[in-house]
């Protein structure tokens, strides 16, 4: 009997409650999803992540019309660590990019491959190149690395998995 009375009291209180309405924030569709998936910015060095985020979030305010009547534009992003030259279409989607970064943190796979193949060599500087095309994805992802051993200098190229070219 106690359980029945207690159950009726609970039902009586819950029936009197007002339902809550939750307003959700406006959803924004990411226009450059292909680029963000292809570059996978989470695993890039921090300076690379920062400039790529600016590239993804860029909104054109005054695109120019070319001779063919298409609205397309090319934008350059510069930082002390690197630069990106990006081509956009009329909807603001990235068509292609050419990216160059200097002295970024190398991926662990590249560092291990260098240590294994070139022991006693020191990394002096590196340049990271990325090329993206909207239909092909990442077409090039190369590290150009300058090594030094005493007075000898060696320049090598490796991809992001540590394979030498």
Question: Would you say residue 23 lies in a domain?
Answer: no
pTM of the model: 0.70
Pairwise CA distance, residues 126 & 100, whole Å: 10
Question: Would you say residue 21 lies in a domain?
Answer: no
* E strand segments, 24-115: 73-79, 82-88, 94-102
Question: Would you say residue 115 lies in a domain?
Answer: yes
CB of 128 closer than 8 Å to CB of 100:
yes
Instruction: Kindly state the percentage of the chain with pLDDT values over 90.
Output: 23
CB of 81 closer than 8 Å to CB of 98:
no
Tokens of 156: 């090598």
CB of 132 closer than 8 Å to CB of 138:
yes
- pLDDT tens readout for residues 148-159: 998 899 999 998
Mean pLDDT of the chain: 80
Question: Would you say residue 72 lies in a domain?
Answer: yes
Question: Would you say residue 120 lies in a domain?
Answer: yes
Question: Would you say residue 22 lies in a domain?
Answer: no
Question: Would you say residue 130 lies in a domain?
Answer: yes
Which range marks the domain in which residue 140 is found?
Answer: 28-159
Instruction: Report, as an integer, the average pLDDT of 106-110.
Output: 89
> How many domains, the chain?
1
Question: Would you say residue 67 lies in a domain?
Answer: yes
- pLDDT tens readout for residues 51-70: 888 887 777 665 555 555 45
Instruction: Report, as an integer, the average pLDDT of 63-92.
Output: 74
Of 44 and 111, the structure prediction assigns the larger pLDDT to 111
């Amino acid at each position: 009997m106690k359980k029945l009375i207690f159950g009726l009291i609970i039902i009586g209180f819950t029936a009197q409650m007002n339902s809550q309405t939750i307003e959700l924030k406006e959803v924004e569709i990411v226009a450059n999803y292909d680029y963000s998936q292809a570059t996978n910015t989470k695993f890039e060095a921090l300076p690379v992540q920062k400039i790529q985020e600016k590239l993804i979030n860029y909104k054109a305010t005054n695109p120019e019309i070319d001779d063919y009547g298409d609205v397309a534009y090319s934008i350059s992003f510069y930082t002390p660590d690197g630069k990106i030259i990006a081509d956009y279409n009329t909807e603001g989607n990235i068509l292609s990019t050419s990216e160059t970064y200097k002295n970024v943190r190398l991926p662990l796979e590249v560092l291990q491959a260098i240590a294994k193949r070139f022991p006693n060599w020191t990394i002096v500087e590196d340049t990271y190149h990325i090329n993206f095309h909207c239909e092909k994805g990442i077409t090039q992802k190369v590290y150009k690395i300058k090594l030094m051993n005493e007075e000898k200098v060696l320049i090598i190229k490796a991809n992001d998995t540590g394979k030498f070219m």
